[in-house]
Structure 1
Amino acid sequence: MSYDPEGEGARMSFRDRMSYGDYLGLDAILTAQHPLSQAHDEMLFIVQHQTSELWMKLALHEMGAARSRIAAGDLQPAFKMLTRVARIMEQLNSAWDVLRTMTPSEYTEFRQSLGESSGFQSQQYRMIEFVAGNRNMAMVRPHEHRPELVAPLLAEVARPSLYDTVLARLAAAGFDVPPRERLDQPHQPDPRARAAWAEVYRNPGTYWELYELAEKLVDFEDYFRRWRFNHVTTVERIIGFKRGSGGTSGVSYLRRMLDVVLFPDLWELRTDL
C-alpha cells in the first residue's frame, strides 16, 4: 500500500490553515520571473540574480543587527551574525558556479533584452558596501529615479558604518582612535587605527573580543573579495571585454573594484606584526 503520512499525524489539508507556501509567499516569489526573450538560459540569468538579491537582503539584516550589538558593547551575538554574513557571501560565490555554465553564445541570445539594466545598479549591493564603510556618493546616482531607493542610502551615509562602530569599540577600550569627521567617504588607512589593531594582535589574550571581532571582519571581506573576483571571471568568461550592459567598461571596471579595500587597517597591520 502507498504510504500516507496522515496516518502518523501529518496535516494534509490546509484549506483554512497557513501552509508552507503561504508563509514563504511563494506565489509572489515563483511568479516573479519574466523572461523577455525565448532564450532557454534567460531563466537561469534571472533566477541567479534574484536569489542573490535575497541573500543580500539577509546579509543586510545581519549586518545591521551586528552593528547595533557592537555599538552596545554586546560583542558575542555580533560574532554569530558576522559569521553568518561570511557564510552568505560564500553562498553568493557559489552562485557564480551555476551562472558560468552559460556560454557566450547562450548569453548573446537574450542579452539585448536586458536593455541597460545591470548588476551595477543593485541598490542592495550598494547598501552592503555603504554599511561596511565603502561610501562612494557617486554610486547613489543610478538610483536617483527611485526616491525610495535613494533615501535609505542617504540615511546610511549619515550614520557610523559597521567599521566606524568597530573603531568606537577600540576607543572605548582606551586606544587613541577618534571618530571620523566625514562619514560619507570611504574608509582610508589610519595610522592610529593600524597601531591599535597591531597592539590587539600582539596581545590577543588581553584583547580577545576585539581580536575576534577583527577576524570576523577580515573573514567577511575575504569572502567579499572572492565574490568580486568570481564576478570578474564570470563576466570575462561570458562576454570577454565588451562593455557592460549598464554602460561600464565591463571587465576593466570590475578589475578596478578588486582594489577597493573595506577595512584597510585590518589588512595593513599584518605587515607590522
Structure 2
Amino acid sequence: MSCKLVRRHLGAFVDGELDPATQIEFERHLEACPGCQEHLAFEGSFRMQTRDSVGRVQAPEHLWERTLRRLDEIDQAKAEHASWVEVRPMRWRHAWPIAAAAAAILIIGGVVGLPKRSDYQSAGMLQDVVNLHTQALPSDVQGEAPGEVVRYFQGKTPFPVRPAQFEEPSVKLVGARYITVGTRPAAALYYIHNGRRITLLVFQSPDIVRNAQRTHVGGREVYYHDVGGNVVTIRQHGGLSYAFFGDLDRPMLFQLAANARVAY
C-alpha cells in the first residue's frame, strides 16, 4: 500500500469508515511509515479542533450583508477599469461560499485562536485512544499471561511493557496489540470487566496531559479529558502515560485508573 493511497483516504481511516481488511492494511503501513504517521496525527487533531471551534463561533448576521455589498463594489470597480480584452472571472457574489469558508477560518483563528502544535498532538492522541477502543481491533497476542505480553513487546517499543494489574479480581487481561498513538509507538492492552471491554494504552508522551483536568482518587493523582462526551482517564508513572477508556461509567473508569498497579 502506497503513501499516496493512505494519505488520500486518511479521513475515512480517522472516521472508522474502512472495512476491517483495509483497516488492518492501513495500520500496518502506518506502523512502518513515520511520514504517514505525521499526516494521521494532523488529520485527527485538525478534525477534532475544527469541530470544537466551529461549534463555539457564530458570525453576526450583518457580516454577510456587508461582505456581499463590498464584493459587489469590487466587481463594479473591476468592470470600470477593464481593458479591451474582456476576461470574465467568477463574480464575487457568486463565489460567496468560498468567501464564507475563508471568513470562517479567519474568525476561528482570530476569535478562538489556533491551537499550538502540542495541543494538536494531544487532541490527536486522545482521539486515537477512543478510536482504538471503538474499532475493537484484534489482538496481536492473546491470553491472560502477562509474561507473554511482556515478551511480545520486547524490541517493538522503546520502553518495557508490563500489563497493569488491578485490585478487582473481575478485571482480566485478554490480549494486546502494537499500535501508534499519534506518531509514538504504544502498547494497547485489552481487559474484560464483567463482560465489558477496557482498553489501556501505554506510551511515552507528556503532551497527553496538557490542558487535562486533574483529581485525586484513593490518594493517587488521576488526569482526565472529556472526548466527545466520553472520558479518558490517565495515570503517569516512570515517564509513561497510561490512558484508560472503556464501556464503563465514569466513576468506574476513575476507580480503575487509580487502583491500577502500573509499577511492579
Where on the TM-score scale, by shorter chain, does this alignment land: which range?
under 0.3
Which structure shows the higher strand fraction? 2
The TM-score, its normalising length taken from structure 2, stands at: 0.25
The TM-score, its normalising length taken from structure 1, stands at: 0.25
Compare CA radii of gyration and give the structure with the larger one.
Answer: 2
